[in-house]
Amino acid sequence: MMSALAHDRRVELFGVDVAALTLAETVDYCESLIGAGGTHHHVSLNAAKVVKISTDERLRLVTAAADIVSADGMSIVWGGRVLGRRLPERVAGIDLMEALLARAAHVGHRVYFLGGEESVVAAAACEEARRYPGLRVAGFRNGFWAPDEEEEVVAAVAAARADILFVALPTPRKEEFAERHRAALNVRLVVGVGGSFDVVAGRVPRAPEWMRKSGLEWLHRLLQEPGRMAGRYFVGNTMFLFMLTRELLRGREWSRTPRP
C-alpha cells in the first residue's frame, strides 16, 4: 500500500491538509494511488467548501479522511499565499478530470460517470469517448435516486469494475457518498467533479481561458447564473474572507508569543 502524500508536499489551510501539487503532479499522484490497490478518494477544496466545513462536522471528517485534497479555486491559492502557505497552482476539478481521462485512455483504465441528469451524463460520457480515442467507459448513471435505491447504485458501479469513478453530485452529498461506500464501490479512485458533466455536455459554457488564468472564472459563473450564484459568492466569499482574516490574526498572535 502506498504511503500518504509526503508532509512537505502539503500545506495546512483551515484545518485541512491541501496537496501542494501542480495539475500534472496531481495526475501522477492519482495514478500512483490507482496502482496501490484499494479505493482512494480525491476531494476538491474551494471557498464554499471551507465555509461549509466550519459548520458541518461530517463533511470536515470526510475531507480529512480523503487521500488527497486539491485547491479547486483561486481563493484557496490566494488564501494560502496570504497565510504564507504557498500552493503552486489551482487544480480545477474539470481540468483534473480531463487530464485523468487522457491518462486513462493512454494506459487503459476503465472509467465510470455518476451524477447529473440522465441526458447530461450520457452526453458527457459520449463526448469524452470521442475526445479520447480508446477510452474505456465502463458505464454511467444519473445522480437521482431515492435513499432506498442507493445500495443498488453502489452495486451497479461495483459490477462495472471501473478504475476511476467520477462523481458529479452536490457537496456534501458526493463526498459523503464516496466515503460511506468506499469499500463497496470496487474502484481504485473516486473523484468529485462538481458540475463538470454540464460543461462537457455543452449545457454550460466554461469561462474563456483568459478569465480562468486570471482567477476570474467565478465572475463568469456569476454572470451566467446571478440568481443562483449570488448568495454563494457574496455571502460565502464574505465568510471565507472573515475566516482568512481570523487565521491571519491567529498566526501573527502565535508568532509574537514568547517561546519557553
Q: What are the tens digits of pLDDT across the range 142-162?
A: 999 999 999 999 999 999 999
What's the CA dihedral at 182, 187, 193, 194 to 10 degrees?
-50
pLDDT band at 209 (very low <50, low <70, confident <90, very high): confident
Q: Position of cell 435516486? A: 145
Q: ∠86-90-96 over CA atoms, to 5°? A: 135
Residue 20 contacts by C-beta under 8 Å, 6 or more apart in sequence?
9, 10, 11, 86, 87, 88
Reduced to 3 states (helix: H, G, I; strand: E, B; else coil), residue 48 is helix
Residue bearing cell 479555486: 73
Please report which confidence band the pLDDT of residue 219 belongs to, taking 50, 70 and 90 as the band edges: low
User: Mean pLDDT across the chain, nearest whole number?
Assistant: 90
Quote the pLDDT of residue 229. Answer: 67
